[in-house]
Structure 1
Amino acid sequence: MPARTITVASLFTSCLLTAAMGTGCSEGSPSSAEAERRAAAPALDKAQAQRILDSYADGANRVRRKLNRGALAGIEADPQLSMDDASLKLRRVIKRPPPEVKFSNTTFYIPRVSGYPHWFAAGAVTGQGKRSMRHALLFTQAKPGAPWLLTANPYPTSDALSTVALDPDGYATPVEPDEKNGLATAPGKLPEAHAALLTDGPGASKASLLADGAQTSETYKALKQGEQTLAGRGVTLSSRFSPTRYRVFALRTKDRGALVWYVLKQNEAYSSSKRGQLAVGGDLLGLAPVKAARTRMDTTVLVQYLAAVPPKGRATVTGMYRKAVIAHGT
């Protein structure tokens, strides 16, 4: 590859963050809607949730051994499915299978929900020592009799799920996306606010709902610096984030706040007037031929987030999982 070729690997990078999570209890009575949810029957118990997690691990390891993308649909749903499918495409190209899936230190957070989708979360760890990784897995069941599928799995940098409040029977309380009772902001407002911040900066409308941090203000700064660096090499990059159609899930926390799962879409466009200046690389491998980008490369990226919404103050992003899922070169 010529020395001046710019490898397009998607500028947005994962960064670790340190987030302090409140775990104390505050005074306050639940809303009537929340009281109704607390009275609902849970969709399953912890023993059943453990079997679902074990079955997922078995299925993931079968996929791993053969890099069988087709089998993913039997154990995952979007957005996780699209993201892991793209990851397998990359691993086929680099000929490196994903690591074995073996969960430890597992804790389940099963909400009392009426209607579908049924869902639950699980905190778990894979790997050991310096290679260990935390998971905030979220499984859903779309309708009666449907399989339980892994729908989201952002990687928290702390034991964020330990802040989820449990009732005397050990079950969690769901928070609806539009519910603001006792919260600094409704969970469903986070995608729009986060997308605005990453696209237009901390001064954007509603961006103040989110605290400064590695996945918010620092990411925006890094993107702007990256754009300037590429411009100096003759490459123009534009990047825009937007909310997605994927459902927002949330659980009540011990401090009467909420722990929230949500997803953003990032569209990147790289261009250069000089042919051959761009090349496909990084997490775009497998999505387009290496030489597909002659003068332009357009990518679509999905980013899962885990965030803590307090009763008062700004929401803190505590985890993420990012993967490019589409790339087109011209």
Structure 2
Amino acid sequence: MPAALTVAQARRIHDRYQRLMRRIFAAGGTGLEQAQAGLGLQLGQAGDRIARLRGDRPEPSKRVTGVDVAIPRPVAGQRRWFVAMPLYAGSSQRVHLVFQEGAAGWRLVAGSAAPLDHRLPDIALDADGLAAAVGEDAGGLTATPRALAQAHAASLSTFNADPRGRELITPGGYTSEAAVKARAERAQLRGQWKMQIRTRELPDLFSLRTTDGGTLTWYGLREQLVFTVAASGAQRIAFTDQPNVQTLSRGRSFSRHATVTSAGWFLAVIPAAMSRRAPRAEIVGDWWSALSVRGT
């Protein structure tokens, strides 16, 4: 069994990450793989690519005024990880950064940002000051972490028509409101194009027990918006109302098909099964980006 990190060690890992990111920004975004890995690296590279295509210079994050950490007790056979919660000067967002140990050392692999005024349940700590990691199929919750990720993917793929999403997740910006926007986008196509949403959950997720018996859970989704021409003489499709997608497409329009690939992390609060707080899970934050646009 690997030893648990100390708070001091976790803070040093976070501080090293912040120093590395300042150096990477100063170098124009080169070297992100030294600080990030997995989906976190893909999202960081996507942000850097979009900035470069726009001719913008990547900007470093705001000054860190403090940082709290939550370190789960190590689990045999699993890589060590922890969550850092930095406070940024003047920020209106609550940021969570998930670091995981790999062959090349510690890297940022996941994260989220949520409104600072949205209160989250406290992470439970034991007598040693360690948090408890929760398995993806853990019981005693209104939804297991894995079932929640699957339900969110199903909600996005079906314009919130899948019953799992409505049953397990509180309506809001990431489900019911996202479906309203997607249906409006589909309506704008006026039947000239067919629009499909294909969303799937990704293997990795991270969950910590909270003091009320629920969890804070970070899970990843990958999504493809697939547009296929459906009518002869249909107007070419472009993405002028989606700045990041338009940037990645380099301003192109498409006459036959187009696929927009996006991905990201979401933070959800999953209540205990008998919780009085809420009957369903609530998605409260994300780190999401368009990754690519392809088509003809």
TM-score (norm. length: structure 2)? 0.87
Aligned counterpart, 2:197: 239
Q: For residues 210 and 277 of structure 1, do their structure 2 counterparts lie closer, same or farther at Cα, with a shift above 3 Å needed?
A: closer
Q: Is the 8 A contact 1:79 1:151 kept in 2?
A: yes
Aligned counterpart, 2:177: 218
* Secondary structure at 1:213 match in 2: coil
Q: Does 1:317 align with 2:276?
A: no
C-alpha displacement at 1:161, in angstroms?
A: 5.9
Structure 2: distance between partners of 1:147 and 1:240 = 34
Structure 1: distance between partners of 2:161 and 2:247 = 37
Pairs within 5 Å for 1:13-32: none
Q: Does 1:100 align with 2:60?
A: yes
C-alpha displacement at 1:173, in angstroms?
A: 0.7
Aligned equivalent of 1:124, options 86, 103, 106: 86
C-alpha displacement at 1:204, in angstroms?
A: 1.2
Q: Which amino acid in the other structure matches residue 216 of structure 2?
A: L
| Aligned-residue RMSD, C-alpha | 2.3
Aligned equivalent of 2:145, options 182, 187, 190: 187
Aligned counterpart, 1:44: 5
Structure 2: distance between partners of 1:42 and 1:314 = 35
* Secondary structure at 2:105 match in 1: coil
Q: Which amino acid in the other structure matches residue 52 of structure 2?
A: R
Pairs within 5 Å for 1:65-214: 65-69=26-30, 71-101=31-61, 102-114=63-75, 115-128=77-90, 131-143=91-103, 146-158=104-116, 163-180=122-139, 182-207=140-165, 208-214=167-173
Q: For residues 161 and 172 of structure 1, do their structure 2 counterparts lie closer, same or farther at Cα, with a shift above 3 Å needed?
A: farther
Structure 1: distance between partners of 2:28 and 2:109 = 19
Q: Is the 8 A contact 2:159 2:183 kept in 1?
A: no
Q: Does 1:260 align with 2:217?
A: yes
Question: What does the per-residue CA deviation read over 1:134-182, in whole Å, with 9 as the maximum and x for residues that have no partner?
Answer: 2111000025xx41000011112246665111112221111011111x2
Structure 2: distance between partners of 1:203 and 1:236 = 18
Structure 2: distance between partners of 1:160 and 1:75 = 29
C-alpha displacement at 1:92, in angstroms?
A: 0.7
* Secondary structure at 2:44 match in 1: helix
Pairs within 5 Å for 1:271-282: 271-272=228-229, 273-274=233-234, 276-278=236-238, 282=243
C-alpha displacement at 1:319, in angstroms?
A: 0.5
Q: Which amino acid in the other structure matches residue 106 of structure 1?
A: V
Pairs within 5 Å for 1:280-319: 282-284=243-245, 287-291=248-252, 293-312=254-273, 313-319=279-285
* Secondary structure at 2:182 match in 1: helix
Q: Does 1:250 align with 2:215?
A: no
* Secondary structure at 1:323 match in 2: strand
Question: What does the per-residue CA deviation read over 1:258-294, in whole Å, with 9 as the maximum and x for residues that have no partner?
Answer: 1100011111123455465425762135644332634
Q: Is the 8 A contact 1:237 1:271 kept in 2?
A: yes
Report sequence identity in percent: 28
Q: Could you list the runs of 5+ residues in structure 2 that have no partner in the other structure? A: 274-278
Q: Is the 8 A contact 1:215 1:317 kept in 2?
A: yes
Say how many residue pairs are matched: 283
Structure 2: distance between partners of 1:49 and 1:196 = 35
* Secondary structure at 1:327 match in 2: strand
Structure 1: distance between partners of 2:251 and 2:170 = 38
Question: What does the per-residue CA deviation read over 1:19-59, in whole Å, with 9 as the maximum and x for residues that have no partner?
Answer: xxxxxxxxxxxxxxxxxxxxx77531111111111111111
Q: Is the 8 A contact 1:123 1:161 kept in 2?
A: no
Q: For residues 75 and 52 of structure 1, do their structure 2 counterparts lie closer, same or farther at Cα, with a shift above 3 Å needed?
A: same
Structure 2: distance between partners of 1:44 and 1:79 = 23
Structure 2: distance between partners of 1:86 and 1:266 = 15
Q: Is the 8 A contact 1:116 1:141 kept in 2?
A: no
C-alpha displacement at 1:125, in angstroms?
A: 2.9
Structure 2: distance between partners of 1:227 and 1:201 = 10
C-alpha displacement at 1:329, in angstroms?
A: 2.3
Q: Could you list the runs of 5+ residues in structure 1 that have no partner in the other structure? A: 1-39
Structure 2: distance between partners of 1:318 and 1:42 = 32
C-alpha displacement at 1:323, in angstroms?
A: 0.5
C-alpha displacement at 1:230, in angstroms?
A: 3.3
